[in-house]
Amino acid sequence: MAKGEGAESGSAAGLLPTSILQAGERPAQVKEPKKKQQLSVCNKLCYAVGGAPYQVTGCALGFFLQIYLLDVAQVDPFSASIILFVGRAWDAITDPLVGFCISKSPWTRLGRLMPWIIFSTPLAIIAYFLIWFVPDFQQGQALWYLLFYCLFETLVTCFHVPYSALTMFISTEQSERDSATAYRMTVEVLGTVLGTAIQGQIVGQADTPCLQDPNASTATLEGANHTHSTTSLKETQNAYLLAAGVIASIYVICAIILILGVREQREPYETQQAKPMSFFRGLRLVMTHGPYIKLIAGFLFTSLAFMLVEGNFALFCTYTLGFRNEFQNLLLAIMLSATVTIPIWQWFLTRFGKKMAVYIGISSAVPFLILVALMESNLIVTYVVAVAAGISVAAAFLLPWSMLPDVIDDFHLKQPHIHGTEPIFFSFYVFFTKFASGVSLGISTLSLDFTGYQTRSCSQPARVKFTLKMLVTMAPIVLILLGLLLFKLYPIDEEKRRQNKKALQALREEASSSGCSETDSTELASIL
């Protein structure tokens, strides 16, 4: 009888898979180290291409919308400042709203984020095209631009917020996410190059008319030159529409590549969460996470500095430096320089750390901004400064999106049972920077109105030129220095990142082991 029981026990053990034996009966060599989750170059490129639509359209709007409203659509400066401020402020508000909606979205066969990207794309390109269309009516023209500008910003937010949060769902490996972020930043800077080149070169081919004496009488304007001016203005409007059509096509192509080439992946420990967390509880936890507040405070000032330069650069080149036909080429020089140096900054932050890259990369713009403020108008020197400034622009592009995943990892360690907060982290970072940029653009355009900006004039009063110089040089310098001071408080250095990486890996392995144990128990019950 005893022998029979032993034989029965042994045969049962032989029938069971090794993975579901008791822990004490398992051979020690069964447990293998978990392989790292590697992303292929194709995966990284498909993910990176998805960042181009936001940058292409954002670059075109950021650099050209102000001068388009003032000199092509002929909106008065006060109304233009309202359009720019309300549009950017609304854009900022939509980020947390979309983040809230995404956090409530269920996982589908396509994922939780990808459906937002798919359904927002066709509507966004229609709204974008209508921003650059000049309606025949004058009454209510400002309302037209405000409506479609806000509509487009809402739709592009429905694309960009889930795309930004996708960083946390393409891989669980910190190094792979950093590598994919570097790919993304390179493509995004290429997107700004495309936006600058397409918008600038197409629009630059048109002869935008200007008035030598904007205060001349109506009878003078209705002379022979008036007909030529009207024809040239129509050609310029058509050039803006052509550029909008080309950029809209790029938007669609990049969105298709992203949708077909990237798949969302859930964290192993996220699937064990019993019920979803409320948005407002998640928001409270996110906004009380110290490293996040310090990071967005620092980048708030540095981003604001570069947005001031971006928003006023076309007017600064046209009227203060006198390079009416060169500003699009100067923009192209900046963006090409930034594209080339993105891989260099990726190597630098890997070798010396992200905080060191912030200090050196962003502060490198200060000497060149001082040079622009002090020098006389010189085209060759301006090109040299533009190329050098692109180096700093590359750092400003790469570093925020490379450091945000580190903050989220730190949050997950401190709140291991709280999940689904990634869209809140990304959307509120974008919210603060966009709202600040809206305030800056509104104030800068109002400043031009108060100093006597003259629509369609070939030259501007000395007060306007001085105001543009301050907006492009001294104000950004002050903001950059304030931002760098705040970065001294940011607590996640390279040592902290390594500690977080090890702790997260242990958490994932524990979650995977727990999941395997549950599966094994089910399999054992089925066999018995």
Residue 258 has pLDDT above 50, yes or no: yes
Name which residue leads in pLDDT, 460 or 252: 252
Name which residue leads in pLDDT, 107 or 5: 107
pLDDT attached to residue 126 = 94
Residue 385 has pLDDT above 80, yes or no: yes
C-alpha 348, offset from chain centre:
21
Q: What is the CA radius of gyration of the chain?
A: 27
Residue 307 has pLDDT above 60, yes or no: yes
C-alpha 298, offset from chain centre:
16
Q: Which amino acid is at 164?
A: S
Residue 16 has pLDDT above 60, yes or no: no
Distance CA 363, CA 353 (A): 16
pLDDT attached to residue 171 = 75
pLDDT attached to residue 31 = 44
3 state SS of 161: helix
pLDDT attached to residue 221 = 43
Q: Once rounded to an integer, what is the mean pLDDT over residues 58-62?
A: 86
Tens digits of residue pLDDT in 128-138: 999 999 888 87
Residue 269 has pLDDT above 50, yes or no: no
Residue 226 has pLDDT above 80, yes or no: no
Q: Once rounded to an integer, what is the mean pLDDT over residues 123-128?
A: 94
- In this structure, the dihedral spanned by the alpha carbons of residues 474, 436, 177 and 170, taken in order and rounded to 10 degrees, is -150
Distance CA 340, CA 186 (A): 8
Distance CA 290, CA 250 (A): 39
Name which residue leads in pLDDT, 182 or 358: 358
Q: Once rounded to an integer, what is the mean pLDDT over residues 64-93?
A: 86
Residue 182 has pLDDT above 90, yes or no: no
Return the exposure string of 267-277: e unless at least 16 CB atoms fall within 10 Å of the residue's CB, then b.
bbbeeeeeeeb
pLDDT attached to residue 340 = 85
Provide, rounded to the nearest whole percent, the portion of the chain with pLDDT above 90.
12
Assign 374 a pLDDT band (cuts: 50, 70, 90).
Answer: confident
